[in-house]
Amino acid sequence: MTGTTLWDLVGWRAARTPDATALIQGAAATRHERRITFGELQRRAERVAAGLHDRGVRPGSRVVWQLPTRIETVLLSLALARVGAVQSPVIPHFRDHETGQVLRRTRADCFVHPGYWRGFDHRAMAGRLAAGLPRPLTVIEARDTLPDGDPAVLPPPPDSAHRTRWIYWTSGTTAGPRGVLHTDHSLRTAGRWLAEALRLRPSDIGSMAFPYAHVAGADYTVMLLWHGIPAVLLEHFALPDSLAAYRRHRVTVAGGSTAFYALFLAAQRALPPGRRLLPSLRLLAGGGAPLPAALYHEVTAALGCALAHGYALTEAPMVTMGDPCDSAEHLAGTDGRPPAGMEIRIAPDTGEISLRGPVLCRGYLDEPDPFTADGFLPTGDTGRLTPTGHLVVTGRLKDLIIRKGENISAQEIEALLHRHPDVAAAAVIGLPDALRGELVCAVVEQPQGSRELTLDGITAHLTAQGLARHKLPERLEVLAALPRGATLRKVLKQELRERFADDGRGRRP
């Protein structure tokens, strides 16, 4: 393949299979579905690029877009890649506070929004935010329609894949969002590595049910272009409503994160014995949150498909991925192996994971260089490498609970809690305590129809699993639903810490 930019990849795929389906807009009813081929994807994206050019978007312009997972969103993103703009995707669930922060910090020239979407007026928000900015802002509404123009007005496509063209935002589960700077080269490499790791087939049909504004959106797009396979896009993922599109198009590859696996599992268990939820599904794949070994075995047994889970972060969209052909032991107990070119270093004292490789970001927006002198990026995550080269992510440095001077891994306890039949999801946090420094608090979400949980019952379960006594939770909280982020549905532990530390019970002797 010639060329190096994302736009080069679009042209390469369009030339090879112009009439092959690229994207299908999934819907509950067939009459509302739409398709676009790889050839049309290139032609329409170029016309959108010309329309954006007519609205003043030029190479280097900073464009913030906040759109749901739709064909139009992919077209807009590719059009910005054609122009050579710097684009900053924002998930559509953000409101005035978060979106205004992004517009100010990026010094945006243009803001693209979906209008009135899922009960919220983004048009009105755009007006409020534009009025409070120190510089003029071009505002474009683009959910069903996109700017259109004559490609003859466009300047030549960008000729370098190594300039910063993307600003993504971390989920903010442990701190405020940070603008992560990426290039076409870093995103293209991550998508190609993902495509190779998952061993996709020409007959596969993928799916995107997560917010396209997440860095995984670019990852997945590169994967589709690389292999020339289609994907079903879901503007809003909800079960059982989304199942019709999966079944109609015989989706073979699905996923997103651990929370998505659990949702599919719950939907499967709601069916009569012997009936498969998705008969065509052969592979679930994703990352973004820990995968308990018990959940891996439950999902693969119930859904009758493989499950490949990996480790990635906004700063490095592809680090490791489980190989669908690997053993169940490795797929359930590790986060996969890194591809050639990705270096992983584990700090001997803390276990912190540091990374070096071509998928890494260029740094953070308006922040000091985060890299070590030899080019590694410390992640804040902890883990270990097995003799076979598999990575096992064990938690986060900030997720470490220090009780009476002993280090306790929250992720270790969570994995054991997930084996309890009356636990659907669990988050273990440390709460301030005058005598212990921190105490261990288990916050759980229960499946429907389950028995009431007690602290004694939970500790008995963990003791039976062989957990050391000093790691046992001293407090149990049961919630109807754990608070989760809007992208890959990560549990918001900081929100739990603030909620349960402030009520005073976390400081009892």
CATH number of the domain where residue 414 is located: 3.30.300.30
pLDDT at 465: 83
As a whole number of angstroms, the distance between CA 474 and CA 401 comes to 13
For residue 389, being part of any structural domain is answered with: no
- Cβ within 8 Å of residue 504, ≥6 positions away: none
Please spell the DSSP secondary structure of 311-379, one letter per residue: EEETTEEEEEE--TTS-HHHHHHS--BPPTT-EEEE-TTT-EEEEESTTS--EETTS---S-TTS-EEE
CA distance 284 to 300: 9
Number of domains in the chain: 2
Domain holding 408, by residue range, is 404-507
How far is Cα 85 from Cα 95, in angstroms, rounded to an integer? 24
Which residue type is seen at 203?
A: S
Tell me which of 154, 185, 216 is where a domain ends.
185
492 located within any domain: yes
Share of the chain above pLDDT 70, in %: 95
**What is the spatial distance between Cα 463 and Cα 93, in angstroms, rounded to a whole number?**
41
**Amino acid 508: pLDDT:** 35
Going by DSSP bridges, is the β-strand pair 343-346/352-356 parallel, antiparallel, or unpaired? Answer: antiparallel
Contacts of 468 (CB under 8 A, 6+ apart): none
- Identify the helix (H) or strand (E) that includes residue 116: strand 116-117
- DSSP letters spanning 302-318: HH-SEEEEEEEETTEEE
CB 425 within 8 A of CB 482: yes
Assess if residue 147 is contained within a domain. Answer: yes
Among residues 185, 219, 243, the one where a domain terminates is 185
In CATH, what number is assigned to the domain containing residue 93?
Answer: 3.40.50.980
What is the pTM (predicted TM-score) of this model? 0.84
Where the chain has pLDDT below 50, the residues are 2, 172-175, 504-509
Helices 258-269/293-303 angle, 10° precision: 40
Q: What are the strands, taking DSSP E only, across 368-491? A: 377-385, 391-396, 400-403, 406-409, 425-433, 437-445, 475-479
- How many Å apart are CA 467 and CA 473, to the nearest integer? 11
Residue 243 lies in a domain: no
- 477 located within any domain: yes
> Which pLDDT belongs to residue 300?
97
- The answer to the question of residue 398 being in a domain is no
In a domain, 180, yes or no: yes
Tell me whether residue 482 is in a domain: yes
**Of 137, 167, 185, which marks where a domain is finished?**
185
Question: What per-residue confidence (pLDDT) applies to 488?
Answer: 63
